[in-house]
Amino acid sequence: MAGRIITVAQQKGGSGKTTVAVNLAIRLRALGHSVALIDTDPQGSLGRWFLERLDRVGEDDDLEFSTSSAWGASYESEKLKKRFDFVIIDTPPKIDSDLRPALRVADLVIVPVAASHVDLWATEGVLDLARREKAEAMIVLNRTRPNTRLGAEIAEKAGELGAIVATAQLANRVAYAETLGQGMGASETARNGAARDEIHNLTQEILAFWP
């Protein structure tokens, strides 16, 4: 069976796209799935993470990385899904016609939203473009602060945008930034139990998207 393509997209920079892509990939690998990562962002953060990982843990035949132009993302992902269970595309922080190929091929679009109204406003353009490409989208609240009025308000407003809002949320934890710089996922280190639970819950919710 062909693999699933997950595109991570958000027009606002600093939303945590690479963090979500990396941690989702590492958790899927831990569950026994093969994963290919595609970086279409010229900034290259995902590629830097992968090189750090190679230095730290070595090669893994079931975790592959490649780069692509925005327009080449559809061809590259369609090719990789024949060999991998999941293909995860990390996209640049912009919303224009260049993003369309990565949305068009996606079985699911993950839209990270940091806990601010500015980030939420930026989400509308991504969701609109995803709808035009007939792609299902899931909003993931990222860098949240539990039990705050702002967090609850952002979650409520996100639900009004017409997309699925993941029940699982990623809190504002140093562990995510720290492990990213080490070429690791937050779920791979024993002392990050809360982060590990968050990533596990989000991954399970994404897997449940496909019956």
Q: What is the 3-state secondary structure (H, E, C) of 102-146?
A: HHHCCCEEEEEEECCHHHHHHHHHHHHHHHHCCCCEEEEEEEECC
Domain ranges of the chain: 4-207
CA contacts within 13 A on the Cβ side of 63: 26
Q: Do residues 76 and 82 touch, judged by C-beta distance below 8 A?
A: no
pLDDT at residue number 106: 96
Encode pLDDT of 131-171 as tens digits: 899 999 999 988 887 766 766 777 777 778 878 889 899 99
pLDDT at residue number 39: 96
Alpha-carbon gap, residue 37 to 7, rounded angstroms? 10
pLDDT at residue number 8: 96
pLDDT at residue number 192: 74
Q: Do residues 122 and 11 touch, judged by C-beta distance below 8 A?
A: yes
pLDDT at residue number 32: 97
pLDDT at residue number 200: 95
| Structural tokens at position 20 | 């979500």
Spans of the chain, pLDDT less than 70: 1, 95, 147-148, 150-151, 190
Q: Answer whether CATH 3.40.1280.10 is correct for domain 4-207.
A: no
pLDDT at residue number 147: 66
pLDDT at residue number 13: 78
pLDDT at residue number 156: 76
